[in-house]
Amino acid sequence: MFESAELGHRIDKKTYKEAVPQLRADLLDAQYDLKEQGKIPVIVLVSGQDGAGKGETINLLYEWMDPRFISTLAFCAPTDEERERPVMWRYWRALPPRGRIGIFAGSWYSAPIHDRIEGTMTPAALDRRIDQINRFEQMLAHEGALVLKLWFHLTQEGQRRRLKALEKDPRTAWRVTRWNWDRLKTYDALQEVAGHVLRLTNTPWAPWLIVEGEDDRYREITAGRIILDAMRRHLAAGDRQTPAVAPPVRPNIDGRDVISQLDLTLKLSKKQYEDQLAKWKGRLSELVRDPRFRRRSLICVFEGADAAGKGSAIRRVAAAMDARQYQIVPVAAPTEEERAQPYLWRFWRHMPRAGRVTIFDRSWYGRVLVERVEGFCSEADWQRAYNEINDFEHELDEAGAIVVKFWLQIGKDEQLRRFQEREQVEFKRFKITAEDWRNREKWDAYHQAVCDMVDRTSTGQAPWTLVEANDKAYARVKILRTLCERLEAALSTAPAPPDANFAGKGKK
């Protein structure tokens, strides 16, 4: 895979001087077109061997282009905050908005390559991470992003020469440390692991471009032209996307589906409600204070028909916890900032750290519900969202998050009764809007969208709990009981963290 970058590519000084002015002008024009259109972000990953010119190339791009619309993100060892969240969390936070260029000096490839070389990641674990990365980059491409991955390559002897030359020059000697020379000893291991990773992640939507890094002039011109040509092609393509293919929906030939088969007559008496509510609120309070929960997090998703009682259910859940331990995130239409990012970006920002709880009042499922039904996104967008959401929740689960999802369902007649009640009760009028009445007219379309959502996104790690909500008392108790059961099951497999207050009791 690296053969073409070991041919001794060089550019003479005269050719370089003649090429640079036009290349710089063209890059600036493309950058301003990118900013003016404001439709796509450009993500440039800069990777490769030590001494191959990664830093110099980044500095040169700042010199050749307008630095106001470029951001560079460097990633080293994760912080404590980052370790308490899914692996990809810190990269999601760093994605550039549409109209800008983000350069990643070190990226989601750095840690798995390093860990495999060090022997702390198995080949199977590396391949699972590669699959995760491919899905992530495919999602970025579907969102319109231009993903460019540059690998600057050197032969082992070429790397030795580069390090010696850098060390000899007083202006660059600081860049060469004992660590760089020690890394030279792992050259063969890096070649093996990087070759495997680059081969499996060299996709049509996010290809690797391997650039020989020994000759500065060749490297600079080549990198500049790669970025220029890719930006021009992407800008010229406009909004055209390759349609995504989603799994087919099972035809409903007998009228039975996950919503129509709910028993909406289920209810609790006042006495049953009070007893059960107190029991499960107390149990939830104990579970979120359990020492084993310090290594986990809880993400609650509340979706449902309008007027189904999501808000009142959330208040009962929150009342069982210390206010310092949880955050409630109400989800409405995305802001301008959020529309400039991939769809899931605004939800990644609210992922809780270990020992914390985040409650979403509506969520990322808006894409396959309201956006689908109301036509706020293309069919390709909501069709591909099912797999993207499953991947997202799978990442949360692997990072230790417990994802509990509720759909609250009421009957059409009960919804009408609640709407009318809201209009008549002064302190409830804010809950009813013209949009609620308009959505009611699309009851059947939402019904189908909910059934498709459950069929395609109720997974082993993050199953849907369908809540019969005609009786609010029954719904609240079922939600609290489900939360407790899911937490108990998850914590039963998690060892308690070492803590002076808990560890070692009963031992000498």
Instruction: Please state the domain extents for the chain.
Output: 3-237, 270-491
Q: What is the CATH number of domain 3-237?
A: 3.40.50.300
Q: Does domain 270-491 have CATH number 3.20.20.60?
A: no
Q: d(Cα 164, Cα 422) in Å, to the nearest integer?
A: 77
Question: Which tokens belong to 417?
Answer: 């009764």
The predicted structure's pLDDT at residue 508: 32
- C-beta neighbour count of 215 within 10 angstroms: 18
The predicted structure's pLDDT at residue 5: 80
Question: Which tokens belong to 403?
Answer: 């994802």
pLDDT at 253 over 70: no
Decide which of 281 and 246 is more confident: 281
If residue 104 lies in a helix (H) or strand (E), which one and from where to where?
A: strand 101-105
- Poorest-confidence range of 88-102, 243-257, 277-291, 448-462? 243-257
The predicted structure's pLDDT at residue 504: 38
Instruction: Give me the sheet containing 401-409, strands edge to edge.
Output: 326-330, 357-361, 297-304, 401-409, 464-468
Query: Which residue reads 């919503």 in tokens?
Result: 259
Query: Which residue reads 């002064």 in tokens?
Result: 426
Tens of pLDDT, residues 216-248 = 999 999 999 999 999 999 998 875 555 444 555
Secondary structure (3-state) at 329: strand
Question: Which tokens belong to 275?
Answer: 């007893």
Tens of pLDDT, residues 193-205 = 998 898 889 888 8
Tens of pLDDT, residues 349-384 = 999 999 999 999 999 999 999 999 999 998 888 988
Residue 389 confidence class, pLDDT cut points 50, 70, 90: very high
Q: d(Cα 33, Cα 16) in Å, to the nearest integer?
A: 25
Averaged over 457-464, what is the pLDDT? 90
pLDDT at 79 over 80: yes
pLDDT at 421 over 50: yes
What integer best gives the mean pLDDT of the chain?
A: 89
Question: Which tokens belong to 27?
Answer: 């890059």
Q: d(Cα 424, Cα 144) in Å, to the nearest integer?
A: 47
pTM score: 0.77
If residue 23 lies in a helix (H) or strand (E), which one and from where to where?
A: helix 13-37
Q: Inter-axis angle of helices 270-287 and 310-318, to 10 degrees? A: 50
Q: Cβ neighbours of residue 79 under 8 Å, at least 6 residues apart?
A: none
Percent of the chain with pLDDT over 90: 67
Residue of 267, 306, 313 whose CA lies nearest to 419: 306
Query: Would strands 70-74 and 101-105 be described as parallel, antiparallel, or unpaired?
Result: parallel
The predicted structure's pLDDT at residue 151: 93
The predicted structure's pLDDT at residue 503: 37
Query: Is the CB of residue 31 less than 8 Å from the CB of residue 101?
Result: yes
End-to-end CA distance of the chain: 59
Secondary structure (3-state) at 387: helix
If residue 312 lies in a helix (H) or strand (E), which one and from where to where?
A: helix 310-318
- CB burial class (10 A; 0-12, 13-18, 19+) of residue 135? middle
The predicted structure's pLDDT at residue 500: 37
Q: What single string gives the DSSP state of each residue in 122-147?
A: -HHHHHHHHHHHHHHHHHHHHTT-EE
SS3 helix, strand, coil % of the chain, rounded to 5? 55, 10, 35
> Do 270-491 and 3-237 fall under one CATH topology?
yes
